[in-house]
């Protein structure tokens, strides 16, 4: 009696199973990357109401991060500087600049400049800037070399996995507290020895449990 299906169809279940697993892996991989902060958030660079150049202020002029973000060492957040901070210099420096018009309007009316936030964690995640700075984690570790940026851009994903990588292996990110705002700081040859000393002196043990960030 003649066979209805050709012999190769005996392999069809295996072909379908293999193809299905391959397709499923492709879909998971697609959303794993393209739906992650590494793809969706890194590179975010909004247009701000004032063309403020970190390259000019922090880079060329060498202004310390803490002059503008003056609460960062004592607060959980790095505050956006008020208009008063800008006017400490710009009452005398380029008072007729068109680019600074929004700053002078804010100063005259008392209405804050509506800066657009670049780095933002989800509401369910807690992050304390002061704790990290006291431990010796520099600004550049999370924000990149701000002193080279005309327009601030998010350089790191700020995801849970990214944070845990540092908490599990913090040695490469620790530096002297005096160097936390130094964008050009380079880890010394004895970084591992220095990190061990700092962790012992400050009793550093970065938490990895959920309650550390989800409160």
Q: Given this model, what pLDDT does residue 2 score?
A: 63
The pLDDT tens digits for 116-139 are: 999 999 999 999 999 999 999 999
Residues 173, 76, single domain; the answer is yes
Q: What is the mean pLDDT of residues 158-174?
A: 96
Whether residue 149 lies inside any domain: the answer is yes
Residues 76, 161, single domain; the answer is yes
Residues 29, 129, single domain; the answer is no
Q: What is the mean pLDDT of residues 34-56?
A: 91
Q: Given this model, what pLDDT does residue 58 score?
A: 96
Residues 32, 131, single domain; the answer is no
Q: Closest by alpha carbon to 53, among 7, 76, 16, 86?
A: 86
Whether residue 179 lies inside any domain: the answer is yes
Q: Given this model, what pLDDT does residue 18 score?
A: 82
Model's pTM, two decimal places?
Answer: 0.82
Residues 40, 75, single domain; the answer is no
Residues 75, 165, single domain; the answer is yes
Whether residue 154 lies inside any domain: the answer is yes
Q: HEC string of 60-77?
A: HCCCCHHHHCCCCCCCCC
Residues 27, 75, single domain; the answer is no
Residues 165, 75, single domain; the answer is yes
Residues 76, 180, single domain; the answer is yes
Whether residue 198 lies inside any domain: the answer is yes
Whether residue 175 lies inside any domain: the answer is yes
Residues 169, 76, single domain; the answer is yes
Residues 25, 75, single domain; the answer is no
Residues 176, 126, single domain; the answer is yes
The pLDDT tens digits for 61-101 are: 999 999 999 999 999 999 999 999 999 999 999 999 999 99
The residue segments making up the domain with residue 23 are: 15-44
Does 166 score more than 60 pLDDT? yes
Q: Given this model, what pLDDT does residue 208 score?
A: 95
Least confident span in 10-24, 57-71, 187-201:
10-24
Whether residue 177 lies inside any domain: the answer is yes
Whether residue 27 lies inside any domain: the answer is yes
Q: Given this model, what pLDDT does residue 42 score?
A: 95
Q: How many domains does the chain have?
A: 2
Whether residue 197 lies inside any domain: the answer is yes
């Amino acid at each position: 009696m003649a066979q209805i299906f050709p012999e190769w169809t005996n392999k069809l279940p295996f072909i379908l199973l293999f193809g299905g697993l391959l397709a499923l892996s492709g879909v998971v991989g697609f959303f794993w990357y393209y739906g992650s902060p590494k793809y969706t958030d890194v590179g975010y660079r909004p247009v701000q109401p004032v063309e403020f150049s970190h390259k000019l202020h922090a880079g060329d002029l060498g202004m310390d991060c803490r002059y503008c973000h003056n609460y960062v060492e004592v607060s959980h957040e790095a505050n956006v500087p008020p208009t008063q901070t800008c006017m400490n210099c710009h009452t005398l420096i380029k008072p007729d600049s068109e680019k600074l018009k929004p700053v002078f309007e804010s100063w005259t009316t008392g209405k804050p400049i509506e800066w657009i936030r670049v780095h933002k964690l989800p509401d369910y995640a807690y992050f304390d800037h002061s704790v990290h700075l006291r431990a010796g984690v520099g600004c550049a570790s999370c924000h990149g070399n701000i002193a080279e940026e005309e327009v601030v851009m998010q350089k790191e994903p700020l995801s849970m996995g990214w944070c845990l990588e540092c908490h599990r292996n913090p040695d490469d990110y620790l530096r002297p507290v005096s160097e936390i705002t130094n964008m050009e700081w380079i880890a010394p040859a004895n970084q591992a020895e220095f990190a061990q000393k700092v962790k012992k002196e400050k009793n550093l043990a970065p938490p990895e449990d959920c309650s550390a960030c989800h409160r």
